[in-house]
Structure 1
Amino acid sequence: MPEALTQPGPITAEAFAKLRAARQGSPTDIATALATRTRRPLVRDDGRLMIVAADHPARGALGVGSDPMAMADRYDLLQRLATAIARPGVDGVLGTPDIIDDLALLGLLDDKIVVASMNRGGLRGSIFELDDRYTAYDAPAMTRDGLDFAKVLVRVDLDDAGTAATLEATAKAVDACAAAQVPIMLEPFMSSRNELGRVVNDLSADAVINSISIAAGLGATSSYTWMKLPVVDDMERVMASTTLPTLLLGGDPTGDPETVYASWKSALALPGVHGLVVGRTLLYPADGDVAGAVDTAAALVHNS
């Protein structure tokens, strides 16, 4: 079970009360908050991005480590996000509309990249998990809200017919984002179901390369397509398989943090890698020190 935060979050009880009041009685405040937030270029001088991810709950994936409900407390999650987003070197946040709207109402998105999560319909553990419907953001909504980046998950199971619908929907999403001039990061995996029927991802270098090859060809243009890839063995060969700009993902926190950080540092040095997109590893570190974990990751990204 993740430790409690070692530092108090910056969101006050009064701020949460105002958020609840706005959601109940003044829903247009969300659009106003998004329209008036201070925006920034996608990349700055060093060309690197450090993004904090929080789109897991919408897929019914609330677990972190051994705690299956770690992300269930929305107030705690928002406190952790507020702590993370405020740290130097953090460029933005990735989330579904419920998360992004909360952060906008709390005034936490100024000068930050907002990454919109698009397909959350393949609920964790469901029989339709690989038929991953686009049930969150779409390109018109991102344009409406002035969001900066899109993200989709592309799991390919050659034995699951649901994969075909996901690939087709993803190709359409790539085209729609390109038409709107919104960069879109694809997070591809070669996946299968284990003996318990659970979807597992193949993290061998060959499988990751195969998934990149499939995902990179989706849509009628790749002009706005990025990759979001796991850090695996033989990352040099993985990165040699694509010219698309790439961000690295963190995954569920397991193992020694120092070993994880070392693997990130090595992969960040490769050509084509432009930063990190990490959620649970930083938001729910074993010692509860969100600020410390985020600062370590941000320093790796920005070489500070």
Structure 2
Amino acid sequence: MTPVDPVEEFLSMLAVERGAAANTIAAYRRDLDGAADAIGDLATADRDRISTLGEAWRDLAPASVARKASALRQFFGFAVDEGYRDDDPSEALPSTSRRRNLPKVLDHSEVEALFACAQEDAQGDRPLAVRTLALIEMLYGSGLRATELVSLPVSAVPRDAPFLTVTGKGGQARMVPVGTKASQALSRWMAVRDGERSSFVFPSRSSHLTRIRLYQIVKGLAAKAGIAPEKVSPHVLRHAFATHLLEGGADLRVLQALLGHADIATTQIYTHVDSARLVRLVNERHPLAARAASD
């Protein structure tokens, strides 16, 4: 089996999820290849090696350094989210002034619209529609990475226990909860799935569904549900899983375990709590709020 190249996976994501033009992808490739020439494999380079890029880029214009650093920050963020790295070493980059941007967020009404569309399509038990419902249930209901979902083996599907055993990059295994709706959708898919000889839950010819095809399915469903396709991707649904759990009161350490993050700092970057909720929390829970109410 050909080893997965994280850089190629990242460039494919740019093309599919963000609709990046060929020239843009070529520019990212040049920046990433140039960095790899200087420090070695980007998926395994440590912070000390990454910090030497300042010397390698010393003769470049500030704008060029900023562009190259931005490309690497985005790659490192992708590498962490997809399990190719356990840490985000972006702080070691030269002239780094900002943390990587948070992913786009879907609000609850958009998630509901997405699921309403998927459930309506799946009413007739058409295999592809049932598969789409199972895919988004697993992305939003269990917070799986795209790669973890498409490569999910049949042996991981629970019979009685409401958990999946997911093995991420580097052989790191974790238990992932499967909610009632996700379990029902998965059972429906397994009943109509065409691929009894395949060892994958979501088979495709001789292997499994590709990440690119998963992106296309999710974006197609978004368009049908009346949501701008550029707002929705498998990663955005994973982020919505984390965001909405955190909004509901989930502990950050629990969320770290569910997402499969080795470092809780990654979870803090990945999750998002809206400012309105924070203001409401202060108003409701701070001791001064109680005093003000009694005055």
Q: What's the TM-score once normalised by structure 2's chain length?
A: 0.27
Structure number with larger C-alpha Rg: 2
Q: Specify which structure has the higher proportion of strand.
A: 1
Highest RCO, 1 vs 2 (Cα 8 Å, sep ≥ 6): 1
Q: What's the TM-score once normalised by structure 1's chain length?
A: 0.26
